[in-house]
Structure 1
Amino acid sequence: MTSPFPALPHPALHASHSGVWVARGGETRALSRGEAIRLAADTPVILLNAPLVAQRLGYAELSGLDLLELFAFLHPARFAVPTPRGIAQVTGLEAPARDEEVAAFLAAAAERLLAVTQAGDWPEREGAWTAAQSLTRARWPWAPIVAPRIAKPAQHERWLFSRLPEWQEAAPRPTPRPVTLDDAAVLDRLETLVGGGAELRTGQRAYAAAAAAAFAPRMTRDMPNLVLAEAGTGIGKTLGYLAPASLWAEQAGGAVWISTYTKALQRQLGHETRRLHPDRAVRKARVVTRKGRENYLCLLNLEDALQGGFAGRAAILAHLVARWAAYSDDGDMVGGDLPGWLVTLFRRNGSAALTDRRGECVYAGCPHYRRCFIERAARASAEADLVIANHALVMVNAARGRETATRPTRYVFDEGHHLFDAADAMFGTALTGQETIELRRWIVGPEGNARGRRRGLQARLSDLASYDEQGARAITEIVAAAGALAADGWLQRVAEGQPFGAIETLLAAVRGLAYARAEQDADAGYGLETELAEPTPELIEAAAPAAHALDSLVRPMVALGKRLEAVLADAPDWMDAPARARVEGAIASLGWRAETVAAWLALLARVGGPADPRHVDWLAVERGEGREYDIGLHRRWLDPTLPFAETVLKPAHGALVTSATLTAGGDWETAEARVGAPHLQRAPGRFTAPSPFDYARNAEVVIVTDVKRGDVPALANAYARLIEAAGGGALGLFTAIRRLRAVHARVADRLARAGLPLHAQHVDPIDTGTLVDIFRDDPHASLLGTDALRDGVDVPGQSLRLVVMEGVPWPKPTVLHAARRLAGGGSAYDDRIVRARLAQAFGRLIRRGDDAGLFVLLSAAMPSRLLDAFPPGVRVSRVPLDEAVSRVRQRLSTAGPIGHEADLDA
């Protein structure tokens, strides 16, 4: 299509680890970094991913005409891999083959993207003119170019709030019927899901039949039908449990909650359900994804941002998010259809303020309540057949959810080996400065020069206060008691030895004892912790006033909650449906905050008192990047699966816990202990289906014997040589962020000169999910990361053919770990953790039958007793680095399987 507008006069800039180039007027030339910085400072330049280019130039203030921002405006709720290759795919242009061709490509891509505004079939045209005018006022760099190209609509266009549908109230869903699934029907459903006349795998058939037992009618209260199923990679467990889950939902008329640990698996599950419901409208009604409310866009926060609450770059982000919200399926800002890279383009400036991260929701008091993404998801899940959630939300919902009438009776816990960790985080207690100041802000509202729309408890319940004298008195008492909590500036006052109030005095005593007893180097910049035992007189003296202050707070909170319940029962004249919903929300919020304060009181009772053998208590000073950021007391369950079993499993009728590595690191008894089965009266069912992959033929483990632990230059050299030998396609796993950054700094330029892009978690200003997308999209790229990549990466094919671990992933020696190690068998407990981590890391390598690759461990100290973490038959070789590099080059230079022609075992 010929554009009626002249070609863009702006230069295009590209910077990589191997150099910097600018394209202007059809010519491309190389620049020094200094020249590039001067150019970018003097004139708007077209670029791709401004924060990343700024990092490579060493010029933090870089801004310009970012193609990603333009794409987000033109195609809201669509995703593009934020690389030249990814932009080529969405524009239909040929991807540049070399770095020096990228700048000219960016200029051509800008023209191609802008041409969309002249297309008659632009699907996201509605709202674009209004958004462009708003972005012009916000001084978006693209606005002067984009706005003139969008014709003003003949009539007022619907935009954002008028586009969003309203949810409707529905009658309560009937209790699910007790049904017994027929084995043949389950297999028929599995065959339908697999589709295309494909042959059903024996392991998958057996897995689906075993999973169906979790959906049988429960015979005794508090005795759910629990099935533990370990299905090796390649069995097809997702479709294997979707078959009985979907069949039960249809026949019983109930909802099955499918819970994951990682967002990547949540997204994958959403894609797999297309096999179940190909029609998008049907799928949207029958399958709902649920996350914690802090993941969703808050429309009231967005409205405040659009009306002047945000300024500068944050205001531009708000307008682009508003453009996205009008087209979003679910309003999920974290892992949904909002491109993960959009927020990072603005250095996360303002994004947190667009979600409800602080529990400030006013529920029915919000003018956008009927269009609220969170409320819509909650109501949709009540009518859905399948609810795709995560472990944390399932536990929160079971412990204190408002939706008591629609609690699920059937669960599928995928990535079940992470249930212990999720329960550990959910049921823990932290009495810290950050936690107490958040509670203070929720109660008191803005103080001093604080900005924003946040309102205190008194303002949120003003109608109740004017109606009910007892409720008004309780609110006044709560606000007064909140004055003892940590306040703005608490961290500096505590560090200077000038705490204000009972809680800050307690935190000062905690800090003093942590510095006195912690084994870590106090000047190293890492967090400090020490067991809560034999407390100092200062800590004991500070605990009593702090406990009194918290007791003075929790009593009126409980009283107010009871008073609100009485008001609901009385139903005064002023209480219409929105007011009732607002009071119900206040009851729920007060309830779980009162539970939190009660848990703090129980923790304080430990100071100077007897230890609780069920819990582990310690003091900590949290530090990072050379500064303190939190101080407090912590409590975790020694066995967090106990509250998980009581809260989630016992009320359920059935649950399937499944994973590819459920018993990794141990045996079935260990697996059962890690998911809470011993706390149930009825023993769980067990099922195992080994992976169908030929690991012995397609994979190999190489242990490098001559890279010394702690020698960062040698470690970096090993990574560089191995990645060069493989030609990219490497996933590098680290146990410490500091070493990851050090290795990346040493090898990124070297690899870039070889045409091998290197990306890194905790280095590149890009979210983890997008980093994986970039890695998956380019078979020559490599990716460095930590735990999140060890457990949540699914990259089949040539893009991931080499996994390199820096060393044996021993658990960090914390107070909590020491207590669990003592209770769990000492060194055997450590070994189980390491085996599980190695199994998870190795599992990234072979994701489908035709995959082949090597797993390299840079640790001569790898104990032989841990080698059973790898699949049976996989050859393990101990060789020097030179030999390992040769092995990688030889094996990965061809796409075929790994043979056994030579025995290189040292």
Structure 2
Amino acid sequence: MTQAPTDDLVLAAEAAAARLDTLPVLVVGAASAERWDGETPPAMLNLDAAAEAASTEPHLMISRVVTARRLGLKGLRAYDLLELFAFVRPGRFCLPTGAGLAAALGVSAEGPDEGAESIRIRACAARLLADLSAETYRYRAGAGAAATMMARAGWLWGPHVIDAFGHGPREGAGLSGKNGPPRKKSAGGIQVWDELDEWEDHGPLPPPDDRPVLPDEAAARLKAMLGDGAEDRATQDRFARAATHAFAPRELADGPNLHLLEAGTGTGKTLGYIAPSSLWAEKNGGPVWLATYTKNLQRQLDQELSRLYPDPRVKAARAVIRKGRENYACLLNIEETTRAVLSRQDAIGRAPGNRAEDRDRVLIGLVLRWLRFTRDGDMIGGDFPSWLGPHFGRNRIAGLTDRRGECLYAACAHYRRCFIEKAARKSRHADLVVANHALVMAQTVNRGDDPETPRRFVFDEGHHLFDAADSAFALHLTGMEGAELRRWLRGKESGGSTRARGLAQRLEDLIGDDTSARQQLDACIDAAFHLPSDGWLGRVQTAAAYGPFERFLASVRAHVLARSGADGPYGLEAPAHRPGEGLLAGAEAVAGTLDALMRPMAALAARLVDFLDEEAETLDSQTRGRLDAAARALSLRADLVRGWLAMVSELGATSETSAGDLPGVEIPEKLETVSWLALDRIEGREIDVGMHRHFLDPTAPLADSVLKPAHGIVITSATLRDHGAGEDDWSSADMRVGASHLAVPPKRLHLPSAFDYGSLTRVLVVNDVNKADNARIAAAYRVLFLAAGGGALGLFTAIRRLRAVHAGLAEPLEQNGIALHGQHVDPIDTATLVDMFRADENSCLLGTDAVRDGVDVPGRSLRLIVMDRVPWPRPTLLHRARRAAFGGRSYDETLTRLKLAQAFGRLVRRADDRGVFVILDGQTPSRLLTALPEVVPVERVGLKQAVDITQSSIA
């Protein structure tokens, strides 16, 4: 598939170099824009004039998506520097800002203050194109072929890249290895998937030994990691010593050595648990899994492991980052998508700069560039630029990952190069595996019988274990879930180029002419015909539902609309008890469909297991692996359908309801699960409908499937306990992490923060702002953010209120030289927004829960936190049921105090940080403020006084 430049591309490339200096530059802010043609002084434009200019001709800019959003344009052709950076430096990191690009490229914009950003943008473009022609350019492999393909697709940078590339050394002469693993000699073509290194298989490992880690050993390892001259932190030493309890041999089956370690901010808990974890792995020849809740902490852990393994090659062998399969690039998806987009007719027109841009081809070009140089193939949160998601559509990028569960395993032509298989094999032989809570639960639940399943864990961000388990063990009988199962079973049934093989295609060569397996397979495919198909939502909304499943969804929707008693842009809920006749009839019909599907799926899974036994002497290892994987996947989905069947069967049963103040909330017998019906909406647009079932206490299945089989576990966080319940009360921690379900009680230790909060922070409750008036809230944020001079984080309990405040803040902050970033406003992922906020100490950020928990922003970049109101739990039906079961008002207050403690914990991250914590809710109860350090007195003040205190405290 190698493509040589055609005459029109050559001609365009020859003219490209002369055009770069004449490209106009456009920098768009919240209220105005700067345009520079390179000759006359920069001109300031209002947004309407900037939109007209941008629509008239392509401009040089950073992030066409952000620019289009600010200008109110649906689409925008532009010379986007972010796309050029992704092409020229594939797999490398940069912030999607002028300062971020300049820092990554080593560019400094010298010149007058007026137009400095435009000068910097043009300098970054020149530097990137100069890189392509440099003798030392290390990303040369495949660049020419990709540029040609993208130029044919109408990519504006294509001719410039071809021109710059044509002045450099021949393709394939670039350096390799230093910035990534050594590559095979490149053919310089598009077929990158054939040029990646293959993984090597190893025999099964013996079970790990069980030698303990002694406290003195852990302390010595910690000291070695910190190095000479490091600050002596007694609490960190104590943490490392205490954590060794989890690395001693356990005494009882189902009785893990569990240690709950609450360590205040600044303790240094990350290195504190890495020390004994790494020692145990080295001494016993088995892995320790380090699990986090957020990807932010996963990235921080990866960085901290460099202290333990300073040699990158050693680190790559002994520490592995693991995520779910849906995060990794699927080589077969990429190959087939590439072939599909290249088979389409070239865009019309001879001059590439005048062609309508084929965004699919441009995306594939950038993906292929990245694919050659990626560290581990992680497209979601890894080294694939996260800011490209909004440029091309997150679904397009997600479609290139293994999100549909259609893996062919050993039957795939790319199996030996598969990133997922590489990561799985590395994790079996690694010392430390950095994963997330969800993956740990999935691995232990789905593969609990596997002798290689790890038995030693560290759960950081342990206060989120309840939420992680709640997601992991819930069941959702919805249209989306049903349609996804149909695709998994029947494949893609309508037109389109995306790969979506059905079950028959994946199992064809495995079952051969086995009559029983063939019959069960046919029965599965036939039964799946009655699951929701493409367009199901429109049919459900318009009384045109087809088949029993869709008719059930239509009856659920009608039930919710009739009984929710509310309306608006957000989702609606209704209790599942006392269903009407229509819903009962729908449930009965769909139960028959589910039963007809579940039985052959379970039978086929059992038959595949039989093959493993009957053909044990003749099966090669790859076929055995495929059979095992297929049997597990079928069994898991059969269990899912079995769960759905139980859910609809419950609809006809008589259920108890909660007493007192919770009418209409169903709490089934034995207080095990809670079921309800829901219509999911985003900003008024319906996206899904169905029935949901959650465990009332999800830590019960967590304890059964994850904690009890383990031998040793550390659960740590700065906020495990509800401190409002008393200094020695660990009951809230036990309940939230599953310790209350274990026969052997855990060890518990609280280590206070190393910071002097009394001298470093102020806590203010503003009592004269109407929290129901968005204009007054926006004004309060404005004066507080300006008083701090930036470096402020605004936290919200509702997205709609966040957006309203952002609209009132952006212009006045910009006029004072302060950049404002907004989660749910800017088309940029949350992790990148936090990176941008961290990099500019005078910027501000508005966000919700995702930026309240687990975000590390040390220094002056975060010196003020403002919360719009008390973060009470949202009163969903599930929450109401749990509230009734776990203590009523005290349960609400526990959850709220934990959120307040997490938010306050963002403010001081190192000993020289200073900050102010403000709540714009005069009705904040004093009993909730016990979540904050008692050495910091809470001051109830008016807004003006809060502004004065902010100015004087963090000037």
Q: TM-score, normalised by structure 2?
A: 0.91
Distance, in Å, in 2 between the alignment partners of 1:696 and 1:224 is 39
* Residue aligned with 1:533, SS: coil
Mapped pair 1:243 → 2:275: yes
CA displacement, residues 87-146 of structure 1 (integer Å, 9 cap, x when unaligned): 221232325896843223211221122111122222222222232222223322111100
2:340·2:497 contact (CA, 8 Å) conserved in 1?
Answer: no
Equivalent in the alignment of 2:365: 319
Give the direction of change, closer, same or farther, for the CA distance of 1:355–1:864 in structure 2 (3 Å limit): same
Equivalent in the alignment of 1:261: 293
Aligned pairs for 1:504-583 within 5 A:
504-520=550-566, 522=567, 524-571=568-615, 576-583=620-627
* Residue aligned with 2:853, SS: helix
Equivalent in the alignment of 1:690: 752
Select the residue among 16, 19, 30 that pairs with 1:17. 30
CA displacement, residues 636-685 of structure 1 (integer Å, 9 cap, x when unaligned): 00100000011001111010000011113543111011111111110000
Select the residue among 151, 165, 179 that pairs with 1:150. 165
Distance, in Å, in 2 between the alignment partners of 1:141 and 1:735 is 42
Equivalent in the alignment of 1:900: none
Select the residue among 266, 269, 273 that pairs with 1:234. 266
Deviation at 1:702, TM superposition (A): 0.6
Aligned pairs for 1:106-121 within 5 A:
106-121=121-136
Distance, in Å, in 2 between the alignment partners of 1:450 and 1:140 is 23
Deviation at 1:451, TM superposition (A): 4.0
Q: TM-score, normalised by structure 1?
A: 0.96
Q: How many residues align?
A: 889
Distance, in Å, in 1 between the alignment partners of 2:186 and 2:495 is 38
Equivalent in the alignment of 1:65: 79
Select the residue among 132, 138, 150 that pairs with 1:135. 150
Distance, in Å, in 2 between the alignment partners of 1:321 and 1:153 is 18
* Greater mean alpha carbon deviation, residues 255-264 or residues 30-39: 30-39
Distance, in Å, in 2 between the alignment partners of 1:528 and 1:4 is 55
Equivalent in the alignment of 1:438: 484
Distance, in Å, in 2 between the alignment partners of 1:136 and 1:5 is 15
Mapped pair 1:81 → 2:95: yes
Give the direction of change, closer, same or farther, for the CA distance of 1:293–1:403 in structure 2 (3 Å limit): farther
Equivalent in the alignment of 2:218: 186
Select the residue among 386, 394, 401 that pairs with 1:355. 401
Equivalent in the alignment of 1:418: 464
Equivalent in the alignment of 1:744: 806
**Structure 1: which amino acid aligns with 2:949?**
R
Deviation at 1:18, TM superposition (A): 3.8
Structure 2's unaligned 5+ residue stretches are 1-14, 174-184, 345-357, 655-667
Distance, in Å, in 2 between the alignment partners of 1:642 and 1:34 is 58
Select the residue among 771, 774, 780 that pairs with 1:709. 771
Equivalent in the alignment of 1:342: 388
1:305·1:315 contact (CA, 8 Å) conserved in 2?
Answer: no
Deviation at 1:814, TM superposition (A): 0.4
Equivalent in the alignment of 2:893: 831
Deviation at 1:528, TM superposition (A): 0.8
Aligned pairs for 1:486-885 within 5 A:
486-520=532-566, 522=567, 524-571=568-615, 576-610=620-654, 611-612=668-669, 613-664=671-722, 666=725, 667-885=729-947
**Structure 1: which amino acid aligns with 2:87?**
F
Distance, in Å, in 1 between the alignment partners of 2:186 and 2:740 is 60
Deviation at 1:591, TM superposition (A): 1.3
* Greater mean alpha carbon deviation, residues 560-569 or residues 34-43: 34-43
Equivalent in the alignment of 1:369: 415
CA displacement, residues 417-449 of structure 1 (integer Å, 9 cap, x when unaligned): 000000000000100011001101111112233
Distance, in Å, in 2 between the alignment partners of 1:210 and 1:50 is 51
Distance, in Å, in 1 between the alignment partners of 2:186 and 2:503 is 38
1:215·1:654 contact (CA, 8 Å) conserved in 2?
Answer: yes
Distance, in Å, in 1 between the alignment partners of 2:37 and 2:497 is 44
* Residue aligned with 1:810, SS: coil
**Structure 2: which amino acid aligns with 1:616?**
V
**Structure 2: which amino acid aligns with 1:605?**
S
Give the direction of change, closer, same or farther, for the CA distance of 1:480–1:819 in structure 2 (3 Å limit): same
Deviation at 1:11, TM superposition (A): 1.3
Structure 1's unaligned 5+ residue stretches are 894-906
Distance, in Å, in 1 between the alignment partners of 2:954 and 2:59 is 40
1:191·1:200 contact (CA, 8 Å) conserved in 2?
Answer: no
Give the direction of change, closer, same or farther, for the CA distance of 1:58–1:574 in structure 2 (3 Å limit): farther
Distance, in Å, in 2 between the alignment partners of 1:338 and 1:194 is 31
Distance, in Å, in 1 between the alignment partners of 2:219 and 2:57 is 64
What RMSD over aligned residues (CA atoms) do the two structures have, in Å? 1.9
Equivalent in the alignment of 1:45: 59
Equivalent in the alignment of 2:182: none
Distance, in Å, in 1 between the alignment partners of 2:250 and 2:469 is 24
Distance, in Å, in 1 between the alignment partners of 2:546 and 2:562 is 22
Aligned pairs for 1:442-453 within 5 A:
442-453=488-499
Deviation at 1:34, TM superposition (A): 3.7
1:313·1:349 contact (CA, 8 Å) conserved in 2?
Answer: no
Distance, in Å, in 1 between the alignment partners of 2:329 and 2:592 is 38
* Greater mean alpha carbon deviation, residues 585-594 or residues 284-293: 585-594
**Structure 1: which amino acid aligns with 2:116?**
E
CA displacement, residues 151-173 of structure 1 (integer Å, 9 cap, x when unaligned): 44378834532442111111111
Deviation at 1:577, TM superposition (A): 4.1
CA displacement, residues 615-656 of structure 1 (integer Å, 9 cap, x when unaligned): 011010111122211111110001000000110011110100
Give the direction of change, closer, same or farther, for the CA distance of 1:203–1:578 in structure 2 (3 Å limit): same
CA displacement, residues 441-490 of structure 1 (integer Å, 9 cap, x when unaligned): 11111223354221111122222454211111111101111122112222
* Residue aligned with 2:861, SS: coil
**Structure 1: which amino acid aligns with 2:498?**
G
Give the direction of change, closer, same or farther, for the CA distance of 1:403–1:776 in structure 2 (3 Å limit): farther
Give the direction of change, closer, same or farther, for the CA distance of 1:511–1:349 in structure 2 (3 Å limit): closer
Distance, in Å, in 2 between the alignment partners of 1:287 and 1:419 is 23
2:81·2:125 contact (CA, 8 Å) conserved in 1?
Answer: yes
2:186·2:195 contact (CA, 8 Å) conserved in 1?
Answer: no
Equivalent in the alignment of 2:528: 482
**Structure 2: which amino acid aligns with 1:251?**
K
1:464·1:472 contact (CA, 8 Å) conserved in 2?
Answer: no
